[in-house]
Structure 1
Amino acid sequence: MNAKRILDQLMKQAGGSSGAGGTDLKGMVDNLSSQFSSGSGQGGDQKGGGFDPKQLLGGGALGMLIGSKRGRKMGGKALKYGAIAGVGMLAWKAWQNSRGGADGDEAREGRPMDHLEGNQQEQRSLELLQAMIMAARADGHVDERERAMLAEQIDEMGADDELHDWVERQLKAPLDALALARQADSPQAAREMYLVSVAVIDDDNPMERAWLDQLASALGLDDQLKRELEQQAVSS
């Protein structure tokens, strides 16, 4: 599979829309809000009316993953995109903050995504992609059309046949926080999985908040670490 290639592109999309490089984040969100309220007027999605998810982040799989649900509150989500772009170091920083600034031991805690290579990097990429897909599905409203669109977007990013089949399985698999948590191969991987999940969910949606709580418990994250990871998501 070529999961790392796909995750790199998602990170690039996220980084380009987190406020860096001159991106007009507020303008983008205001434009989306306008689409939400305009119904099927000019510029809307002619198939569904109002919101074309491909316009989010200039289109692409990240826009589908995070913004595919019509009428969602987008402002808070947009502010959290940077957590995906810098997931490794942000998760590490959150752990240090939760321990009073302690220096971490990568041999014990696991290496951040940014420090991995080869097969370990590919495996971590799969873990993070799986976490993002599960979080995007947590409110139970990803329909068949949205699944097909997301799979198409990921294919356009260069997914090979094996990764395509894997994504299809993730889009249809039961939501199981314990099964997802078992994919984490280190404490650092667990922190990164939680952080990208925070970036994808809507804080005001009770079902998505419940998913985060289930995942944190399954990953063995304490309350202080949860708070630090969520703070990194909104301050990145």
Structure 2
Amino acid sequence: MDVNKLLSGFLGGQGLGAPGAAGDQGSAGGSGRGTDVQALARSAGLPGGLAGGAAAGGLVALLLGTKKGRKLGGKALKYGGLAAVGGLAYKAWRDHQQNRPSGQEPDALSLPKPPADSGFDIDNDQDAQGQDIRLSLMRAMIAAAKSDGHIDAEEHQRIRDQIADLGLGPAEKAAMFDYFSAPADARAIAALARTEAQQAEIYLASALAVDPDTPEEQRYLQDLASHMSLSEGLRGHLDLEAAAARRHAEAV
């Protein structure tokens, strides 16, 4: 399965399949990890970050296109991509460890990349099932966005139609259908995390995909944190970083 193409379809990466694009490297046997969608974004003249500024037009736009909180989370992903998830999660974790405040940085979507030995390595890490951690983050976002039941039958059909039009291979298309068809199961999403760092990343990605003012989505995040045995302290720092990302996204 070509993970880069799957993520590109979800986040809205553009230029996939162009000659010499990183997405082709994955199908040819190269890993493409760390440069994949970033390279595609640069070739298309888009901002940096794993989503490359192309969240609008990806499947994530259908998921997060309702309610202000979800829209701002989607915009944060547009400008920061999955790279921002890693940076925000690491910043929150480090602040918690050092008893420092979180969410006060002026540009929450341009945080430095976590140190190589920090455990926050989205580009190369694997989850508890031995799969690419980026797939877990995508699954976490989908589940969180669905947790209030706002996606009705018509919206499900629109999502299925867009998946069919993405030009994905059979394996990628089947995975995408599976992810969108699965229930919003906080226990199953929590079980994807192999380390505390991955718990923080999965929770942060989920927090960006919800409307923080919706009771159903708040209960989902509470359940997710509970199933991961995430401490209230760390969760508080992660929530503050997610809020900072939304504020910055609203300002740009």
TM range (shorter): 0.5 to 0.7
* Residues 177 and 214 in structure 1, CA contact (< 8 A), matched pair in contact too: yes
Per the TM alignment, residue 73 of structure 1 is displaced from its structure 2 partner at its CA by 2.7
1:219 counterpart = 2:228: yes
Per the TM alignment, residue 219 of structure 1 is displaced from its structure 2 partner at its CA by 1.6
Specify which of 221, 231, 235 is matched with residue 240 of structure 2.
231
The residue identity in structure 2 corresponding to 1:208 is: E
> Aligned pair in 2 of structure 1 residues 154, 113: CA closer, same or farther (>3 Å)?
farther
Specify which of 79, 89, 92 is matched with residue 91 of structure 1.
89
Gaps of 5+ in 1: 22-55
Partner of 1:7: 7
| TM-score normalized by the length of structure 2 | 0.63
* Residues 198 and 230 in structure 1, CA contact (< 8 A), matched pair in contact too: yes
The residue identity in structure 2 corresponding to 1:97 is: D
Higher helix share: 1
Show CA shifts across 1:168-191 (max 9, x none): 222222322111111112222211
Show CA shifts across 1:93-148 (max 9, x none): 1110111179x9977x734203549xx99521211111011011101121233223
1:48-197, aligned counterparts within 5 Å? 58-67=56-65, 69=66, 72-74=67-69, 76-77=72-73, 80-81=76-77, 84-85=81-82, 86-100=84-98, 110-116=119-125, 123-197=132-206
* Residues 61 and 150 in structure 1, CA contact (< 8 A), matched pair in contact too: yes
| TM-score normalized by the length of structure 1 | 0.67
Specify which of 200, 207, 210 is matched with residue 216 of structure 2.
207
Gaps of 5+ in 2: 15-37, 48-53, 101-113, 246-252
The residue identity in structure 1 corresponding to 2:184 is: L
Partner of 1:25: none
The residue identity in structure 2 corresponding to 1:218 is: H
* Residues 132 and 200 in structure 1, CA contact (< 8 A), matched pair in contact too: yes
Identity %: 30
| Mean Cα deviation higher: 187-196 or 78-87 | 78-87
How many pairs were matched up? 191
* Residues 138 and 211 in structure 1, CA contact (< 8 A), matched pair in contact too: yes
> Aligned pair in 2 of structure 1 residues 226, 59: CA closer, same or farther (>3 Å)?
same
Partner of 1:27: none
Q: RMSD of the TM alignment (CA)? A: 3.4
1:112 match: secondary structure:
coil
Which protein, 1 or 2, shows the higher relative CO under an 8 Å CA cutoff with sep ≥ 6? Answer: 1
> Aligned pair in 2 of structure 1 residues 66, 149: CA closer, same or farther (>3 Å)?
same
1:16-31, aligned counterparts within 5 Å? none
> CA–CA distance in 1 between the matches of 2:188 and 2:238?
21
* Residues 139 and 189 in structure 2, CA contact (< 8 A), matched pair in contact too: yes
